[in-house]
């Protein structure tokens, strides 16, 4: 745009970004300055050129890395498919499978085997139901608190808190870190409020939910729960921590059942469950060596 001034000169306004360069004694030239979009195109071109150069220089390593990724994905899909197929088969034929193992025992040992299965089912069902209920309560309470504090991405953080509750104690602590970190980006008050709310939820979970659900249903002492989590995480990382409590329930059930059938000591976890109590004929009198045990 050219606009005349009052003194006879002109204002020249250009829509493009230009630079005035002298090309002669009395000659000047306007040259366009590259825009940000052009700079971005140049940056992307440079990145593409560097990527192509790196691929050309490290073709073998790149192909090996790609092969590892494809192998890992294929192995994961195969494992998932086989696990689902095996689980479906066991659910449809569990009565035949249990019957097969039951027939391997002597007739007088089959009632004890039935009681062991009922105890295993009671312990594992208590652990699974308890953890799922804790996840639900934790997720709902976290969603309410995060919404009240107007935390960013609060639905995602609530879901993360619920899933983290699958791992007792440690999962709740780990799921708290991203929520507090996002709260810090909004302000110290928001972060402190979120932290106090989460600590309150964990107190309710530790003092009411875990003792009531896991303690009453699975009959596992809290110290044993923490110990199993430490051992599982140490040897098998996240998977070990996830399956630590169910495995502990199985081990405890087998130990108490073995103690009852061989030593005649009452199973303390069977109190209030008559179907899990051994009949008097199954228990040797105190001090008497059970049948089938080598007296030497």
Please tell me the total count of domains within the chain: 2
DSSP state of 217: I
- 261 in a structural domain: yes
Helix (H) or strand (E) holding 21: strand 18-22
- If asked whether residues 63 and 144 sit together in one domain, one would say no
In the numeric block, which tokens belong to residue 16? 């493009």
**What's the pLDDT score for residue 269?**
64
- Collapse the DSSP code of 246 into the 3-class scheme (helix H, G, I; strand E, B; otherwise coil) and give the result: helix
Residue 98 lies in a domain: no
Give the residue carrying structure tokens 């709902």: 140
Helix, strand, or coil here: 16?
coil
Give the pLDDT confidence score for residue 296 in this predicted structure.
47
Structural domain includes residue 200: yes
Token pair of 178 as six digits:
């991203």
Task: Tell me if 154 sits within 8 A of 162, measured CB to CB.
Answer: no
Residue 37, pLDDT score: 52
End position of a domain, from candidates 79, 103, 135: 79
Distance CA 134, CA 123 (A): 16
CA-closest candidate to residue 241, choices 232, 254, 251? 232
- The secondary structure of 145-158 as a DSSP string is HHHHTT-TTHHHHH
CB 285 within 8 A of CB 264: yes
Same domain, 45 and 164: no
Same domain for 58 and 173?
A: no
pTM: 0.53
Indicate whether 151 belongs to any domain. Answer: yes
CA atoms of 132 and 137, how far apart (whole Å): 9
- 44 lies in which domain range? 36-79
CA 139, distance to chain mean position in Å, is 14
Same domain membership, residue 140 and residue 40: no
Residue 272 confidence (pLDDT) = 58
Q: If residue 29 lies in a helix (H) or strand (E), which one and from where to where?
A: strand 28-32
Same-domain status, 148 and 209: yes
Q: What is the pLDDT along the chain (296 residues), one digit of tens a residue?
A: 788 888 888 887 776 677 777 777 778 787 776 655 555 556 667 777 777 777 776 777 777 878 888 888 899 899 888 988 988 888 888 888 888 888 888 888 888 888 888 888 877 877 777 778 878 888 888 888 888 888 888 888 888 888 877 776 667 777 788 888 888 888 888 888 888 888 888 777 766 766 666 666 667 777 777 788 788 878 887 778 778 888 888 888 888 888 887 877 776 666 656 656 665 555 444 455 545 445 54
Domain assignment present for 144: yes
């Amino acid at each position: 745009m050219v606009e005349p001034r009052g003194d006879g000169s002109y204002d020249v306004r250009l829509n493009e970004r230009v630079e005035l360069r002298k090309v002669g004694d009395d000659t000047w030239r306007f040259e366009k300055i590259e825009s940000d979009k052009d700079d971005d195109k140049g940056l992307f071109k440079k990145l593409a050129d560097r990527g192509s150069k790196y691929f050309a220089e490290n073709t073998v390593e790149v192909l090996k890395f790609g092969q590892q990724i494809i192998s890992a994905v294929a192995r994961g899909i195969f494992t998932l498919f086989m696990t689902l197929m095996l689980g479906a088969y066991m659910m449809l034929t569990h009565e035949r499978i249990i019957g097969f193992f039951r027939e391997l025992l002597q007739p007088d040992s089959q009632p004890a085997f039935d009681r062991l299965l009922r105890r295993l089912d009671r312990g594992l069902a208590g652990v699974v139901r308890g953890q799922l209920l804790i996840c639900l309560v934790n997720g709902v309470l976290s969603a309410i608190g995060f919404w009240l504090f107007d935390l960013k991405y609060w639905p995602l953080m609530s879901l993360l808190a619920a899933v983290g509750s699958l791992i007792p104690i440690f999962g709740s602590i780990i799921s708290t870190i991203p929520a507090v970190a996002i709260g810090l980006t909004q302000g110290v008050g928001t972060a402190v409020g979120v932290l106090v709310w989460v600590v309150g939820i964990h107190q309710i979970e530790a003092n009411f939910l875990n003792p009531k659900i896991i303690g009453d249903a699975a009959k596992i002492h809290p110290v044993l729960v923490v110990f199993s989590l430490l051992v599982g995480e140490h040897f098998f990382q996240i998977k070990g921590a996830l399956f630590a409590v169910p495995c502990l329930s199985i081990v405890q059930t087998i130990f108490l059942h073995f103690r009852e059938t061989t030593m005649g000591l009452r199973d303390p976890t069977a109190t209030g469950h008559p179907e899990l109590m051994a009949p008097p004929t199954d228990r040797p009198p105190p001090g008497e060596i059970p049948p089938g045990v080598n007296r030497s």
